[in-house]
Amino acid sequence: METKTVNAYGTEKANAPLHSMNIQRRELLPHDIELEIHYCGICHSDLHQIKNDFGGTMYPIVPGHEIVGRVTKVGKHVNKFKAGDLAAVGCIVDSCGKCEYCQDDLQQFCDEGVTYSFNSPDKYLGGATFGGFSESIVTDEKYVLHMPETLDLAAAAPLLCAGITVYSPLKNWQAGPGKKVGTLGIGGLGHLAIKIAKAMGAYVVVFTTSPSKVEDAKCLGADEAVLSTDAEQMSKYARSLHFILDTVSTKHDVNTYLNMPRHDGSVVLVGLPPEPLSIGAFNVVVGRRSFSGSNIGGIAETQEMLDFCAKHNITADIELINIQQINEAFDRLEKGDVRYRFVIDMASLKK
């Protein structure tokens, strides 16, 4: 297969700095789109994958799955996009397209294994897929999203992972008028969960370990903000919430929150702690509660989320950086020192 060389940032081993490198992209197939990347968000899972926290990282690795840009070229059979269109690529760039999950637009659960934007086996070139820390990406049109013109593109980039990661469970667990929704954590995921849940009409209660973020939560639109280290405050919320969205990506005690949902309520995990979490049996048996999880969303639902956010003018609160600041950004992300999402201006790759 013919390829072209593009500039990117990645690394060849765990705990090594990211640096400039050249990677190969395939030349366009009939249904492919080439996207010039303008902005790419930085996700906590990028950090985990670089460090091989989940195991299975294939080096060299080029992270990035919150990708926004403009279409530069299209394959001869593409009919959904044309050169010049605003477009986006999220977490998924391929799936089998034939299993029951793909047929139901749940490509993230593909029976044959979904192909992620980076660190998945590349069906075309071999090796691993390379992500959005690069000047361009080539993807089948089925996995490319229409980017609403009305959104600030840099601030919208995190919607491609963080946005859909919280939108999907909020929709599935029916956040809306009359529902009291808890959000655990105010980071890249949590701050978008507040905005989206409020736009859905839910009453939002935020739990945070950081005193400085209590006021932040209210500024983001939360109806209540609770310091989770204050036992007296926490005791007021027992059996009061319909469900809780847990966005924390480090090890934490979820049992603290399992007594807060009403009967048949859930604590829904969307963060990705690398260590196992322990669940006390009585915390789920009493009240018929559940501890559940959710993983991004399919292509159709991701487009639905983008359109919803455009309608309600929802974007992430971001810090825009140049690609040369990437290692500093990852150091800060590991320390929780970002409010609330780093986004790379990919024009800096050409400097």
Identify the CA nearest to 294 among candidates 124, 142, 168: 168
- pLDDT over threshold 80, residue 351: no
| 202: containing domain | 162-293
- pLDDT over threshold 90, residue 325: yes
Report the pLDDT averaged over residues 313-321. Answer: 97
Residue partners of 135: CB distance under 8 A and separation at least 6: 6, 7, 8, 36, 37, 346, 349, 350
User: In Å, how far are 137, 280, 341 from 22, measured between CA atoms?
Assistant: 13, 49, 26
Q: What is the mean pLDDT of the chain?
A: 95
- pLDDT over threshold 80, residue 300: yes
Q: What is the pLDDT of residue 52?
A: 93
Is residue 55 located within the same domain as residue 148? yes
Report the pLDDT averaged over residues 1-5. Answer: 93
206 band by pLDDT with thresholds 50, 70 and 90? very high
- pLDDT over threshold 90, residue 336: no
Is residue 105 located within the same domain as residue 93? yes
Is residue 80 located within the same domain as residue 176? no
CB crowding 308-332: b at 16 or more within 10 Å, else e:
bbbeeebbbbbbebebebbeebbeb
Is residue 228 located within the same domain as residue 341? no
- Would you state the structure tokens that stand for residue 194, as one six-digit string? 């507040």
Q: How far is the C-alpha of 160 from the C-alpha of 162, rounded, in Å? A: 6
> What does the chain come to in residues?
351
Q: How far is the C-alpha of 148 from the C-alpha of 143, rounded, in Å? A: 16
Q: How far is the C-alpha of 139 from the C-alpha of 31, rounded, in Å? A: 8
User: In Å, how far are 12, 175, 211, 319 from 169, measured between CA atoms?
Assistant: 35, 9, 27, 26
Report the pLDDT averaged over residues 307-329. Answer: 97
Q: Assign residue 229 the CATH number of its domain.
A: 3.40.50.720
- pLDDT over threshold 90, residue 60: yes
* pLDDT, tens digit (0-9, with 9 covering 90-100), for 137-196: 999 999 999 999 999 999 999 999 999 999 999 999 999 999 999 999 999 999 999 999
- pLDDT over threshold 80, residue 314: yes
Q: What is the pLDDT of residue 249?
A: 83
250 band by pLDDT with thresholds 50, 70 and 90? confident
Q: What is the pLDDT of residue 349?
A: 93
Number of structural domains in the chain: 2
Is residue 194 located within the same domain as residue 279? yes
Is residue 325 located within the same domain as residue 259? no
CA 130 to chain centre: 17
* pLDDT, tens digit (0-9, with 9 covering 90-100), for 20-44: 999 999 999 999 999 999 999 999 8
